[in-house]
Amino acid sequence: MHISEGILPAQLCISGYGFTSLITWYSLRQVNRLPNPQASIPKASLLTAAFFVASSIHIPIPPASVHLVLNGLLGTVLGYYAFPAILIGLIFQAIMFGHGGLTTLGVNALIMGVPALLAFQIFQLRHVLGNGIKENFSIAIFGFISGAVAIGVSTLIFFTLIITNLPFGFDNSLQQQAMYGLIFSHIPLMGIEGIITAMVLGFLRRVRPELLPS
């Protein structure tokens, strides 16, 4: 899910940094509007660490091996904290693990951070669409949808950028077939991430409901 250096043109990498800066500014502005913005910093730090480690957990799904992302989980629990948290996690992943790169950092932040914010908005719909449903079922249903949609949107953005920016000299038809195979490999990951998100949110509701966004 990380785009490495040398694949995307320079103008796209620069645009990625520009949009990432704007979204980071907007997210922090929304965070500062909270009654106590500092209260969620420990929670954000913990989930940033989980996001950082998740990329090392690989799941073999033929014809490829995929890894957890957990951006949907970060979005549902952290809200607008999620985007800067993912950005920080990506910086450490690029420096320590070599996942992605510093030139593509902005693009990678958009690939994983924007779907996290979308997941937050989807999870908040439970207050409107979940009326009449028991709270535990509502959290499980919307948590699953949020986690699955986040990884699905990230996958769609990732492969769209890769397929439309294949370097010259590659066999485009062969590369596209390989990319489509990888896309299908990520479909089961949507279900896995949805289940993980729903389970974690259900657990938090039972033991620490104050950690869930209002």
> Is 2 inside any structural domain?
no
pTM greater than 0.85 (yes/no): yes
Question: Which of 101-115, 120-134, 172-186 has the largest mean confidence?
Answer: 101-115
Rounded CA separation 150/82 (Å): 12
Quote the CA–CA distance of 189 and 149 in Å, as a whole number.
11
Q: Is residue 94 part of a domain?
A: yes
Please report whether residue 1 resides in a domain: no
**Is residue 27 one of the residues assigned to a domain?**
yes
151 Cβ contact partners less than 8 Å away, ≥ 6 residues apart: 69, 71, 72, 115, 186, 189, 190, 193, 194
Reported confidence tier of residue 143, pLDDT bands at 50, 70, 90: very high
Q: What does 127-180 look like in DSSP terms, one character per residue? A: HHHTTTS-HHHHHHHHHHHHHHHHHHHHHHHHHHHHHTTPPTTS-HHHHHHHHH
pLDDT band at 62 (very low <50, low <70, confident <90, very high): low
What is the rounded CA–CA span in Å between residue 211 and residue 204?
Answer: 7
Please give the share of the chain, as a percent, with pLDDT higher than 90: 50
Is the residue at 70 inside a domain? yes
- CATH label of the domain that carries residue 129: 1.10.1760.20
Residue 28 covered by a domain: yes
Residue 61 has pLDDT above 70, yes or no: no
In this model, does residue 162 exceed pLDDT 90?
no
Exposure letters 156-178 (e unless 16+ CB within 10 A, then b): ebbbebbeeeeeeeeeeeeeeee
Q: Which strand (E) or helix (H) includes residue 60?
A: strand 58-61
186 or 131, greater pLDDT: 186
The per-residue pLDDT of the chain, averaged, comes to 87
Residue 161 inside a domain? The answer is yes
The domain of 191 spans 10-211
Question: Sign of torsion, CA 106 111 112 118?
Answer: positive
Domain tally, the chain: 1
Tell me, yes or no, whether 98 lies in a domain.
yes
CA angle 110, 112, 115 (to 5 degrees): 90
Mean of pLDDT values over 144-156: 95
